Structure 1
Amino acid sequence: MRARIVFLIRVPEDRRDRFLDAYENVRHLVADGVPGHLKDQICQSATDPEQWLITSEWRDLESFTSWEASAEHRETVRPMRECFTEATSLRFHIHAETGA
């Protein structure tokens, strides 16, 4: 069953550029070589410029948890995590989807 991972994070405005640069590096590394990764998205709050949402979709939850547990994951996302002041991670199984 496909999975959706949701990260709600806070990034102070003075770290925004560094955060976005780090995200850009992470997303390409993950998209090009992490088994089970399907897609991701980053969003900035329309009402709070320090609030960000990152979602990723995976073939299954096990693909994500395997990657998350790896030393490669910790090293890859470290520059991005250094920009956070708060972070919440949520995991969901995708049961239904509507699309064009």
Structure 2
Amino acid sequence: MVYQRARDQAELSAIQEAYHLVSKRMEGVPGLLGNELLRSAHDPSGLVVMSRWSDLAAFQAWEQGSEHRADTAPLRPYQDTRMEIPFGVYEVDAAY
């Protein structure tokens, strides 16, 4: 999950555009199952890009690859700097 922040409507539109561009760039990345752009119901300036991966190893291989930074560059200016760390990596601990 990568946390984003839209300070106004123009930034929200820019984030949405960047999200679609990044998603197209990442089509076909091994192990990537999909992603979503989520907007906070409590803080309209807060957004999250949530990606789903087949496993942690696939994510780590992509993250350590040479294309990772270039693929995600359009979203980087909108990372939520209110947070100490603007991203999180989670594994499923339990599910129904």
Same fold (TM over 0.5): yes
Q: Which residue identity is paired with 1:27?
A: S
Would you say 1:65 and 2:30 are equivalent positions?
A: no
Alignment partner of 2:23 out of 27, 31, 34:
27
Q: Percent identity?
A: 28
Structure with the bigger RCO (C-alpha within 8 Å, sep 6+) is 1
Alignment partner of 1:77 out of 72, 75, 88:
72
Q: Which segment drifts farther, 50-59 or 89-98? A: 89-98
Q: Which residue identity is paired with 2:62?
A: W
Q: Partners in 1 of 2:41 and 2:90 — Cα distance?
A: 24
Task: Specify every segment of 5 or more residues in structure 2 that has no aligned partner in the other structure, as ranges.
Answer: none
CA drift at 1:85: 4.2
Aligned length: 92
Task: Specify every segment of 5 or more residues in structure 1 that has no aligned partner in the other structure, as ranges.
Answer: 1-5
* RMSD (Å) for aligned C-alpha atoms: 1.7
After the TM superposition, list the runs of 4 or more consecutive aligned residues in structure 1 that deviate by more than 4 angstroms: none
Q: Which residue identity is paired with 1:17?
A: S
Would you say 1:97 and 2:63 are equivalent positions?
A: no
> Residue 3 of structure 1 corresponds to which residue in structure 2?
none
Q: Partners in 1 of 2:68 and 2:37 — Cα distance?
A: 18
TM-score (norm 1): 0.78
TM-score (norm 2): 0.80
CA drift at 1:28: 2.3
Contact 1:12 1:84 in 2 (8 A): no
